[in-house]
Structure 1
Amino acid sequence: MTANSTINGTKRKKVVKISLITSFLFIGFIGYGVYWAFFDMNRLPTGKYLTEETSPDGTYTLKAYVSSPSLSDDAVRGELVFNKRNGKTKNIYWNYRESTAKIEWLDNKTVVINGHTLDVPNGKFDFRKQ
């Protein structure tokens, strides 16, 4: 085995490693782009205000909005407001083919929106992921 063939083998391994890393990064960016464009709840349309209900202890307020895209059915978006964190908000509910929202707090951490029970602040309902 010559020194030249060893150098070529090392170069080949580096090229393969760089190609694999680049491919994985590219696939990762594409995957994140698809998620961001189609499934990220933070990119939901704002919609028209429907109603709101505050949790029994006043920690959270759930606001409901209806979005009426021109080419499809209505959808309801539920936005959780953190009353004790300067009004920070988080989308926790998104359901297609709804135009009204019935909100009921069962306790300080459990809310029912149109029949879907969610534990707040981490619970979410998104019809696209059902």
Structure 2
Amino acid sequence: MDSDAVFKSDKRRVFKEILIILLIVGLVTAGIFGYGVYWLFYDMARLPEGDFLTEETSPDGTYTVRAYVANGGATVSYAVRGELVFNENDHKVKTIYWSYREEDADITWKDDDTVVINGHTLDVPGDRYDFRHD
């Protein structure tokens, strides 16, 4: 093999390695940026607690939904936050409802696992309603 062919082969190998490294760095950067956007704007665990409005317990007593009204200040409208409390287990309280431009919460249970909050039907514990995703 002549030295020119060896040089070209080494050059291709180095180019592939640099390309792979740049691709990995780009994917990691995009992942960190994507998670940061989610954490800043969509993470329901970061919502303000608010002032207590009302609560309703499911017919079988397994869950309780508590509603709070959050006042964002002079330039932001009121919002209602609903959280699910697991009465029989030691699960962490989970925010399942967040709606903007509301001041009251009408909570009714259809059955043991289905709750209606201000007209939005949720199957607990899996469903959530967040106005930012509409």
- TM-score relative to the length of structure 2: 0.93
Q: CA deviation at 1:87?
A: 5.4
Q: Does 1:93 align with 2:93?
A: no
User: After TM superposition, what 4+ stretches of structure 1 lie above 6 angstroms from structure 2?
Assistant: none
Q: CA deviation at 1:55?
A: 0.3
Query: Where in structure 1 are there 5+ consecutive unaligned residues?
Result: none
Q: Does 1:45 align with 2:45?
A: no
Q: CA deviation at 1:88?
A: 2.2
- 2:38 paired residue number: 35
RMSD over aligned Cα, in angstroms?
1.0
- 2:131 paired residue number: 127
Q: CA deviation at 1:4?
A: 2.1
Deviation per CA, 1:47-102: give whole Å up to 9, x if none: 11111000011110000000000120000000000111225210100000001101
Query: Where in structure 2 are there 5+ consecutive unaligned residues?
Result: none
State the identity %.
53
Amino acid across the alignment from 2:72:
P
Alpha-carbon distance in 2 for matches of 1:87, 1:17: 43
Amino acid across the alignment from 1:116:
H
87 and 52 in structure 1: CA distance in 2 versus 1, 3 angstrom threshold: farther
- 1:1-130 matches, cutoff 5 A: 2-70=5-73, 71-86=75-90, 88-130=92-134
